[in-house]
Structure 1
Amino acid sequence: MLGYDASLVPDGGSAVIAKTTALSRSYGKDAAGHLFHIVALKQAGLFEYPEEDTGDEAPSSSEPSRQNSTADFATLEEENVAGAQWKGRGKKKKKKRSGDDDLYGLLGLQNERWTATAEQIKAAYKKSALLHHPDKMGVAMTDDEDAKKAIEDKFKRVQEAYETLSDPTKRREYDSTDDFDDSLPTEVATADFYKVFGVAFRRNARWSTNQPVPELGDETTPLDKVDAFYNFWYGFKSWREFPHPDEEDIEQAESREHRRWIDRINSKLREKGKKEEFRRVRDFVEYAYRQDPRIVRRKEEERAEREARKAEKEAERQRQIDEEKRKQEEAAAKAAADEAAAAEARKQRQVEKKQTQKERARLRRLCGVSAAGGEAAEGLPPGHVNADEVETLCSKLGLQGLKQLCDQLAAADLAGDEKVAALDASLEAVGEARQQEAAQRVASAQQVAASLKEQASKEKQQLKSQLSEWSEEEVRMLRRALDRFPAGTGKRWEVVQAYVRTRTVDEILDMVKHGLKAGKFAAANAETFVVAKKRQANLANHAEADLRECAFTDVQVNLKGDAARQLEPSAAAAAAPATPVPAAATNGSAAAAGGEEWSEAQVVELVKALKVVTKDVDDRWKHVAELVPGKSKADCFKKFKAMKEAHRSGKKA
């Protein structure tokens, strides 16, 4: 930081070069060296350059040039940085106050100034008071009135200086008006950032209300401390005051209200200076934040990370597009393969159908039955081969069964009776296969019904245990909530749950449905209606229309007179056996009910299955069909619809 000139080294001497330190507080120690004090003053913003009246006048030969002056040897390191730009450095400095007006100078603290502690100020005042006391200056021994007045004025100024500097409020205002270098760096090379901005931050840290002030640090400072440093300066609070020349003296106030009024007026006058100071510090912090190599490097890393994430996201999106395209291609290929397989299956079914038709025609030809199914072939006595049995075999046997039967009949050259026996054996085999299939279906349906019944029993037991956990108080609260919030209330069950508070909505619904409505929980202290015996006769109905003798019911009644003779035809009709229903009518009703004729046992099994397999069971009709032997899912559903319609029409009639 200090200038070095090799020509100044004396003959036989050695050059000693050292770097001055930053301004710091030290107790019990004095700063050494005139140059150190100048550097400290510049760091504290208290040093002033020599002023020039006009920019055109050249320095006189009697005055040393700026390069050879003592101040030039103490130029700060921040000023020696090449290429650094400053804000406010070209402004003309205020003239430094004279020694009589310098309060710190009156106490002998012109070097310490704002860094002086209260103990130092008190000790300096005692020393200056003893030094400048009129008795010590020999006022009584001189007859010069001007000298006496000068000595007394000097002593009074020392006392006034102590009164100002010993009062924290007055001293803060005085320190705020003391000379300070407000210039700030705006742009600097990256290599010189810490050198220039670090000194500028330390110089402005004196105004901070919160102490200690964090340091700018260097390249190795962790980022969390860097963020804490800038957070501190972005929230910087300054104690610096900006007195206005038009302010009024608050000590001249006549009353408390007058003092408050003066204080408000002075605050408004100082507000402009505080705003400018806030703007100056904020701009300075912004300049530093934008040029801080650590912040710049972090922003670049974050930008690179964002770009990497963006590229990764784009790659993922492209991968998803490719994957979707691949899936679509695979789906299209699978659909094409399925379509080809379906076409091949349809083709194979057509081939099998044609072969089946051929085998059926072959069977009819071997059995001597025409396609119409009514007559035997020539050369065979009629009645040997039943055409209905042949048609039954044609409809029940598959391709392989027909082929085996035809091969058997063609190879053996059987007679008519033998052919009939072979056909009967085939019919028996088909019937046995169908019975085994039906038995298997019934067994599986019974297993499903047993599992459903077991599951229903478990759910019932679980529900019963849950209902048993309800206390009488909870049941009472639930009854009261149901009475208070009847059906139709908005969000009724949520409101009821909020009223009960000890149960969930599902538990409340189970209790209402399976407990209260089922009558498993009788109301406590319920009033029962008992009719007195003397009033029971009033409730008896003696109307003639309601008597049992006049009512047409399905029970047997002993009638007398004309009523018995009138009912004789109907009774006879009821007692007469039911006439057989023609086959055509039976087949028609069966077709309407479900496509095939339903036996009484099948109807009973259907009713039982409907009771076992409830509506909430998935694929209900499949399980119902498994419980009804010989009937399919569609047959059961159609029969149920027919029974339902018959029941409704009977009710209407």
Structure 2
Amino acid sequence: MVMLYLPCAPKDITVTACISKLSDPKVIVVEKAGIAYPAYISCLKDNADYLDEDFGKDANDSQASSTPGDDSFVLDEWDTSLLYLDPGQWKDQDHYEVLGISKLRWRATPEQIKRAYRLRVLEHHPDKKAKDGDINDDKFFKCIQRAYAQLYDPILRRQYDSIDPEVDFEIPKPTETGDFFKIYGEVFEREARSNFDSWRSFEYLDEEKERVENRDEKRWHEKKNKAQRQKRKNEDNARIRKLVAQALAQDPRIEKYKNEEKIAKEKKRQEREEASRRAIELDKKRQEEERLKELRLEEEKKKKLEDGKKEKERKKKELRKLRQDVRKIFEDMNYLSLATKEDMRFSQERKMAELNLLLENLDLEETKSFNKDLAKVDGKVTDVDAARATVAQYIGKAVEKIPAVGSGFIIFAPGMDIAAKIRQSKAAKSNAENTDKFSSAKWDANELELLIKATNKFPGGTVNRWTTISKWISHHSGLPERSESELIKRMSELKKGSKTKDGVDVKELQFQKTDTSNLNIKDEATIRYDGPQVAKVPVSSEPKKKSEAKPKVEKQWSTSEQAQLENALRKYPPSWKGEGDRWENIAVMVNGRTKKECKLRVKHLSEMVRQKKSQG
């Protein structure tokens, strides 16, 4: 007899309460079954604590140690027909029989599978056969390897065990009579290995899609295999449900349990009826109290609803009266119109429509304030102007709350303009964060000259070229450093020879460095007596005629310039889609060359390549 004791109360408990009385002790019969029972027996033998956290491990260890066949492990009798197995038809072979453990089958442990594999390998390894003088045939050895790979992997073994042809998965017929435990014992032992969440799968029966080379056919095979696996899984689930239903219907323990449960329910029903008869008066009294309480609560709820309706109606009446007062003020002030030609084009109906729209978008407090502000004026011209300003002010508040109503105000205040200003103010606020804090300074002639010198001093390919140029110009000019984008942009303008962004001609800036018109020479020119005498030539006031323009000689491209051009073309290919002009960016990377010269050079090189292809 096993004595079960109540657990101790928690240590942190502070309040005790009596829920009900303990029932009288009863003697019940507990079936010795389950994984906890071996653990309990082990604890009794070892004098250990039954509630220890590791008791489940002991049970598993005891089960593992009691696995049949551990101590007396013997392979099956050798069958010579196994030597004729084809490794290509490995799905048709019995993997357990190949390893010699066909009697154990799904009961075999991983250690037994490994041991059987080693014994088979020692006997049928191709090297051993060749040494003994046998024919060097490794077909059966490949079958052994395939069987071991299939059974030692837990997932692959489950796939094979799910369709094991040597295992009978048929369930007993419902009409079969006899000892229930004999008939269903082996069936439940066979099915119990799948647990309640069945791991049976049918991937092993899939058609091998690896043999198919066509991708579409592989997809078709995969889709077909998936559908067949699902069909087999559904059939297996239906089989398990049928087995459970039959077992429940024929198990004598279930029938006994149901009868006992029926008797217990009947007894409880009688006790409940007896208790209900004894407590009928108390129930009626309690129901009456609850009914009266519900009536009181219902009356209070109705009263609150009526008070709320009255308050709401009062506010509506007050708001209606305030709106009527505002409309009366409008009528007294001739609808706030100065009767000018400009205001006469608006009808009184239009003005009242805008007033009603304004009043609909003002709450009670705002309407009170609006009425109070309008009541201060007395109908004079100046007061009417103040009233119109007040109306415009409240229109602005309404539009600020609901910008969509701005289109309904035209006369007293431009509602659309107010809504637009609100949007513009928000947009301006966001744009102000993105604008530059400081505008770029203008370029003078000295700074431009330093820029040209710096680009020649630091050619393309220099590390951090434009940062170095900016620091160099700032050091020699004493001005703040320029940004990289500003230097590149100004250099491209100089190469074009056009006007800068500030509208100043580059030639004019260069002329500022060479202009000597304002130079005053106070002393006369000295005469050199030791040198040859040169006849004085009278200076004519008329400017000399310009000589005929000589043909411009094209400047030859150097090796460094050609390399810079090639690097620029790689960086900015024809498919480049970035900021700025492509050829301007290329010209910036080639020192001393303009955009036009770069284009002509590329055109010349393309023509040379075309000629070579046509000749060859």
TM (normalized to structure 2)? 0.29
Q: Which has the larger radius of gyration?
A: 1
TM-score, with structure 1 as normaliser: 0.28
Question: Whose relative contact order is higher, 1 or 2, with alpha carbons under 8 Å and at least 6 apart?
Answer: 1
